[in-house]
Chains A and B, each alone.
Chain A
Amino acid sequence: MPERAAILPGTLDLLILKAVSLGLEHGYGILLRIEQISGQALAIEQGALYPALYRLEHQGWLESEWGTSSNNRRAKFYKLTAAGRRQLRDEVASWERFASAVAMALRAAPSEA
């Protein structure tokens, strides 16, 4: 098993939105998808996924409906709303700004004085 990085606080919402934006999916599926698209590099507490899902739905970024999973069980599927799509765009943009700023900061070398 590759070594996994714990995810930064606050980024779970972003990852969920991204995962759901790829298509209708249930909770477990979202977990697998995040692991998959992050190249298995991120470790997520499985249960913690749900409070985040409920919060995102509460804020109107996700909506859910009950359907049947691939192994024929009843499962709750999530999809992105229009507001959720906007939110994802905003969060991706701000994440990229943050990441590039941090990257730039870390590239700084001691000045030769």
Chain B
Amino acid sequence: MLARARSWLRALAGRRKLEQEMAEEMEFHIAARAEELAGRWLSPAEALREARVEFGGVERYKEECRESVGLRLVDALRADLVYAWRQLRRAPGFSLATASILALGIGASTALFGTVDAALLRRLPVERPEELRRLAWTAPRSGFCQSYSGDNWTGPNGEEISTSFSYPAYRHLRDRTSSFTDLFAFSGFERMNVTIGGEPRLASGQLVSGSYFPALGTSASLGRLLSPADDRPGGVGYPAVLSHGFWLRTFGGDRGVLGRTLLANGTPVVVVGVLPRGSCGVDPSWCPDLVLPLAMQPAVETWAGDVLARPGHWYFQVMGRLRRDAKDEPARAEAERLLAEAIRAAAPPETYDLPRVLLLPGAQGLEDLRNSLRRPLQILGAAVASVLLVACFNLAGLLLARVSTREREIATRLALGAGRGRIVRQLLTESLLLSALGGLAGVLLAYVAGDAIARLFLASERAPAVEIALNGRVLLFAAGVLVTVGVGFGLAPALNATRVDLLPALRGTRGTTDRAPRRSGKVLIALQVALSLALVATSSLLVRTLVTLRSQALGFRPESLLVFQLDPSLNGYRGARLLDFHERVLRVLEGVAGVRSASMSRHGLLTGSRTSDRVSVPGQEGLNADIHFVAPRFFETLGFPLLLGRDVSWGDREQAAPVAVLNAAMARRLFPGRSPVGERVTISGRAAEVVGVAGDTKFDSLRAAVRPAAYVPFRQSEQYSMTFVLRSEAAPEALLPALRRAVAQVDPNVPLYRVRTQVQQIAEATRRERLLASLVSGFSVVALVLAGVGIYSTLAYQVARRTPEIGVRAALGAGAGDVARLVLADALAPVGVGVVIGVAASLLACRMVESMLFGVTPRDPVLLLVAVAVLLAAALVAAWPPARRATRIPPMEALRQE
């Protein structure tokens, strides 16, 4: 087998040499024979002639030799390709259109698969990632955990699964485990204020235990990474490791960066190393700019205090590398036992149940990226696959018609003795060549698209840590799609074409037995219609969702608003100094020319974050409500009314009597039928007097209904970061330089972040919905156009074929209406079948997007009817021109064609 492959490859590669040697070898034989013959009784010329006769046909034997080494197939293939190329060149419009459709389909699916490959399938770029496990826990009552920060989600049985651990518990596990070679802890995303050479900027940071990099097997591209020696607290100049990207962006890849001192949230750190390119730790959804030792937590998170010493603060995630001989279940049980010990040792003050520990697979790192991309990628994948299928069916239909026009050519070749397989192969070569052309363009398209798809669906603030690029796996996928598509749309027409009746085909008259291609044509139309309908129905739901979201009553006027955030706590501001900072900034902003009014609140509106807590009236059961921490003029600036009483004022300070403004929803719930002004409420356990009632607005998300809310003066409840809101007189973006100068007047080291207009903010909140709606709509338009072209061309072809029949009918007195009805009925029957299949397919497809919908159910009958109507209209538009042509066929001409 091996010898054969080697010999075949050698023959293929050294084709010219093979040919030359073959000729030389046979020439030698003839010459040698001639010499021998001449030695007896013939003249040299006669001898040579005799030798040639004895040898036989040189060319024939050469051909047999080629066959012996397996070259005949290659030669035939080459001939097929040349012939196919000529066929495609003969119909350049058709070829170009086909290749473009395929380029689009294959390009989109390749780009999508590239994203799936990188985001959903890839493992972490670390040593033996399959040994990694992430620790998680679940407990009905978690009284051992007074403060929690990190991911949690609801498990399959409704239990709450948490992934953060306290540092003392982590240490207990780390020091006693026998199942893990390493257990390492790390924090989540930390926004950090980093000062480099006196210039402040926001960066992302991550705190990791010393065992983090050794356990992952990551080594530095420059300098060193952190090690267990860095777990010791205290000391001057903590070590900091930079990500490769941050090093390039901020230091221009300068190797002299080692030893430089930066300020991280005001604490000096010394750069000791740079991570290799593409190495971002265990969370593929973001890449930390700065990696610092966990021991530094008290110094960089001054607001949180020394969390490392507190058993009640569960802030850190834990992963481990399983010992090679360890099994999951014993390792899990051991971790559960150790965690129980740690919790008991801490003697929590509140009641609790001991947690059940879970070991999650860690080879792919944390789940965030996969969780946020899975659904959109599934939906897009289904949409792209549908378009590709529609394109396939469409091309199959076109080829079917085209091949029928080549009936005589094919019949001639069959009559001359070409095998059926040979013709099928020839036709398949043509369709494969087409799909290869389309596929090449498609791969190019995917290359250009790069990581665009992933970026579209991720929050703009954090760039994913995975590199999305064409790799071997993606190219293999593209090749697979290309071949499947080529065979898919080429095989049926090819089989059909070779099933011809030779005699009538050669004579150029059509037999009456050519129902088969017409039936396949109809099946293809029905399938295209069904898939297009499913796409149109799905996109109508997504568009409807978007429209509903965008037309939600906000309760305020978002135009001409600029928002940004400041967090002076990162610079060490606390208490009154912090509140004064916020107040001074606000007063400076109010004075900036072009600012109509300015205010601030903790989260702003529609930013995706909120604070909620219990609000109650003495003697009544309380309710959960949103809490806003605001400055004066908040309602005025955002443009919603103060209905009763007064606004929060500058006089509502720390020492003054606590006050609150309620929104109308809250006022109705707590004080039905009367004015709450002057009443007392308890907010987060603190009594306050209600001084006013404001209008209702959405708070954190467009999807959530208006909830009861309370507005609390910001000076009466200290908040670190604040979202500033400015109503401008002109375009809000134009204010920005003046605003930066104004903030710098108060403190030049506090950077502005999340700067955007309120309108942009809302657009950001509907980003995913907008993207899905526009992409799926785009795909459904493509599918619709393709299906229309399919109906048109199939019908046009059928009308051309039935010209004589129609002529006879016309001659026998059928009117234009009769003819049109005949043709349309023929065309619309498969459309009807397609619609029926399509409705079923739509109901299935719409279930898939159910979780993304808002204000519409996946079985909305009106939208489905609209989708059906759109499809029928498209079908009619496509069928009309051929039907009209049929009514104008002059009977005499039609009859003469027979």
A residues near B (Cβ < 8 Å) are 26-28, 31, 45-52, 54-55, 57-60, 66, 69, 71, 73-76, 83
Judge whether B68 is part of the interface by a CB distance below 8 angstroms: yes
Contact partner of B29 among A28, A51, A60, A74, CB < 8 A?
A28
Binds A, one of B3-11, B145-153, B602-610, B858-866: B3-11
B483 CB to closest chain A CB (Å) equals 28
Q: Judge whether B613 is part of the interface by a CB distance below 8 angstroms.
A: no
Nearest A residue to B25, CB-CB: A76
The residue that A60 contacts in the complex, of B4, B26, B58, with Cβ under 8 A, is B4
A61 to chain B, nearest CB (A): 8
Chain A residues in 8 Å Cβ range of B60: 47
CB <8 Å contact, A54 and B69: yes
Interface string of B54-87 (1 = CB under 8 A from A): 1111101100110111100000000000000000
Q: Are A47 and B57 in contact (CB under 8 A)?
A: yes
Smallest Cβ distance from B66 to chain A, in angstroms? 8
Nearest residue, chain B, Cβ from A76: B25
Question: In the complex, which of the residues A28, A54, A59, A69 contacts B3, with contact meaning CB atoms closer than 8 Å?
Answer: A59
Q: With an 8 A cutoff between CB atoms, is B420 at the interface? A: no
- Please name all residues of chain A whose beta carbon is closer than 8 Å to the beta carbon of B22 when the two chains form the complex: 50
Q: What residues of A have a CB within 8 angstroms of the CB of B28 in the complex?
A: 26-28, 69, 73-76
Partner of B55, one of A47, A52, A76: A47
Contacts of A50 in B (CB 8 A): 22, 25-26, 29, 61, 64-65
Give A73 Cβ to nearest chain B Cβ, in Å.
6
Contact check, A58 vs B8: say whether CB atoms are below 8 A apart.
Answer: yes
A9 to B865, CA, bound (A): 73
B33 within 8 A of A: yes
**Would you call A58 and B58 a contact (CB within 8 A)?**
no
Assess the B68–A75 pair: CB atoms within 8 A.
no
Residue contact A47 to B61, C-beta cutoff 8 Å: yes
Q: When the two chains form their complex, are residues B68 and A55 in contact, meaning their CB atoms are under 8 A apart?
A: yes
Q: Is B328 an interface residue (CB 8 A)?
A: no
CB of A74 within 8 A of CB of B24, answer: yes
**Contact status A46-B55, CB under 8 Å:** yes
Q: Note all chain A residues with C-beta closer than 8 A to B56.
A: 45-48
5 residue pairs bridging A and B, Cβ less than 8 Å apart: A27-B25, A48-B61, A50-B25, A51-B64, A60-B3
Please state if B7 and A58 are interface contacts (CB–CB under 8 Å): yes
Whether B24 lies near A58 (C-beta < 8 A) is no
Nearest to A26 among chain B residues (CB) is B28
Q: What residues on B are CB-neighbors of A51 within 8 Å?
A: 61, 64-65, 67-68
Contact present for B7 and A57 (CB under 8 Å): yes
- The distance from the CB of A43 to the nearest CB of chain B, in whole angstroms, is 11
User: 6 tightest A-B contacts by CB?
Assistant: A60-B3, A51-B64, A47-B56, A54-B68, A55-B68, A47-B61
Kindly state whether residue B31 has any CB partner on chain A within 8 Å: yes
Contact A46 B29 (CB under 8 A): yes
Do A58 and B33 form a contact, CB below 8 Å, given A46-B54, A46-B55, A76-B21? no
Q: How far is the CA of A76 from the CA of B65 in the complex (A)?
A: 15
In the bound complex, do residue A47 and residue B26 qualify as a contact, i.e. CB atoms below 8 Å apart? Answer: yes
Cβ contacts under 8 Å, B68 to chain A: 51-52, 54-55, 58
> Of B21, B25, B64, B69, which is within 8 A of A58 by CB?
B69
Residues of B within 8 A of A26 (CB): 25, 28
A59 and B29 CA atoms in complex are apart in Å by 23
Size category of the B interface is 20 to 34
Interface assignment of B35: CB less than 8 Å from any CB of chain A:
yes
How many angstroms between the C-alpha atoms of A58 and B55 in the bound complex? 22
**Which B residues are CB-close (under 8 A) to A74?**
24, 28
Given contacts A55-B68, A58-B70, A71-B35, 15 further A-B contacts (CB under 8 A): A26-B25, A28-B29, A46-B56, A48-B61, A50-B22, A50-B61, A51-B67, A51-B68, A52-B68, A55-B69, A58-B4, A60-B3, A73-B28, A76-B28, A83-B3
Q: Which residues of A contact B65 (CB under 8 A)?
A: 50-51, 54
Residue of B nearest to A45 (CB): B56
Interface residues of B in 16-60 (CB under 8 A from A): 21-22, 24-26, 28-29, 31-33, 35, 54-58, 60
What chain B residues lie within 8 Å of A60 (beta carbons)? 2-4, 7
Which residues from chain A contact B70 at a C-beta distance below 8 Å?
58
B3 contact set on A, CB distance < 8 A: 58-60, 83
Whole-angstrom distance between the Cβ of B48 and the nearest chain A Cβ: 14
Q: Which residues of B contact A28 (CB under 8 A)?
A: 28-29, 32-33
Q: Which A residues lie within 8 Å of B33 (CB)?
A: 28, 46
- Assembly CA distance A76 to B24 (angstroms): 9
Tell me the bound Cα distance from A45 to B33 in angstroms: 13
* Distance of A59 Cα from B69 Cα, bound (Å): 9
In the assembled complex, which residues on chain B have CB atoms less than 8 Å from the CB atom of A76? 21, 24-25, 28
A75 to B35, CA, bound (A): 15
Cα–Cα distance between A31 and B31 once the two chains are bound (Å): 14
Give the residue name and chain of the B residue nearest to A73 (CB): B28
Q: How far is the CA of A76 from the CA of B29 in the complex (A)?
A: 10
Q: Kindly state the separation between the CA atoms of A59 and B8 in the bound complex, as whole angstroms.
A: 10
The reply to whether B31 and A73 form a contact with Cβ atoms under 8 Å apart is yes
CA distance A52 to B55 in the complex (A): 14
Cα A95 to Cα B447 in complex, Å, equals 61
A27 to B56, CA, bound (A): 15
Q: In whole angstroms, what is the CA distance A69 to B3 when docked?
A: 27
Question: Which B residues between 183 and 197 are near A, CB-CB below 8 angstroms?
Answer: none
Across-interface contacts of A47 in B (CB, < 8 A): 26, 55-58, 60-61
Question: Most B CB atoms within 10 A — which of A27, A54, A60?
Answer: A54
* Nearest Cβ on chain B to A59's Cβ, whole angstroms: 6
Q: How close is B474's CB to chain A, nearest CB, in angstroms?
A: 36
Q: How far is the CA of A31 from the CA of B54 in the complex (A)?
A: 12
Cα-based distance from A73 to B27 in the complex (angstroms): 11
Question: What residue in chain A is nearest B54 (Cβ atoms)?
Answer: A46
Q: Which residue of the partner chain A has the closest CB to B69?
A: A58
B8 partner residues in chain A, CB cutoff 8 A: 58
Q: Which residues in B have their C-beta under 8 angstroms from that of A31?
A: 29
Q: How far is B56's CA from A59's CA once the two chains are assembled, in angstroms?
A: 25
User: In the assembly, what is the distance between CA of A69 and CA of B7, in Å?
Assistant: 25
Q: In the complex, which residues of chain B have a beta carbon less than 8 angstroms from the beta carbon of A48?
A: 56, 61, 64
- Determine the distance from Cα of A72 to Cα of B45 in the docked complex, in whole angstroms: 21
Q: With A and B bound together, what is the CA distance between A54 and B4 in angstroms?
A: 11
B270 to chain A, nearest CB (A): 66
Shortest CB distance A76–B (Å):
5
Closest residue of chain A to B31, judged by CB?
Answer: A73
Contacts of B21 in A (CB 8 A): 66, 76
In angstroms, how far is the closest chain B Cβ from the Cβ of A81?
8
Task: Determine the distance from Cα of A76 to Cα of B27 in the docked complex, in whole angstroms.
Answer: 11
Complex Cα gap A31–B28 (Å): 13
Task: Report the minimum CB–CB distance from A77 to chain B (whole Å).
Answer: 10
A70, closest chain B residue (CB): B32
Q: How far is the CA of A32 from the CA of B70 in the complex (A)?
A: 28
For residue B61, which residue of chain A has the nearest CB? A47
A9, B791: Cα distance in complex, Å: 58
Measured in the bound complex, the distance between the Cα atoms of B552 and A46 in whole Å is: 92
Chain B proximity of A10: nearest CB distance (Å): 15
Q: In B816-831, which residues have CB < 8 Å from any A CB? A: none
B16 to A: closest C-beta gap in Å: 16
Q: How far is the CB of A58 from chain B (nearest CB, A)?
A: 5
Q: Which residue of B lies closest to A27 (CB)?
A: B29
Which residue on chain B has the smallest CB distance to residue A31? B29
* Contact among B4, B54, B58, B61 for A59, CB-based, below 8 A: B4
A7 to chain B, nearest CB (A): 15
Complex CA–CA separation, A94 to B348 (angstroms): 88
Alpha-carbon distance A79/B615, docked complex (angstroms): 99
The interface residues of chain A lying within 8 Å CB-to-CB of B35 are: 71
CA distance A28 to B69 in the complex (A): 20
A65 CA to B260 CA in the complex, in Å? 69
Contacts of A54 in B (CB 8 A): 65, 68-69
Complex: A9 Cα to B613 Cα, angstroms: 96
With a CB–CB cut-off of 8 A, which chain B residues contact A69?
28, 32
A86 to chain B, nearest CB (A): 13
Residues of B within 8 A of A71 (CB): 32, 35
| Minimal Cβ-Cβ distance residue in B for A60 | B3
Compute how far the CA of A59 lies from the CA of B3 in the bound complex, rounded to whole angstroms.
6
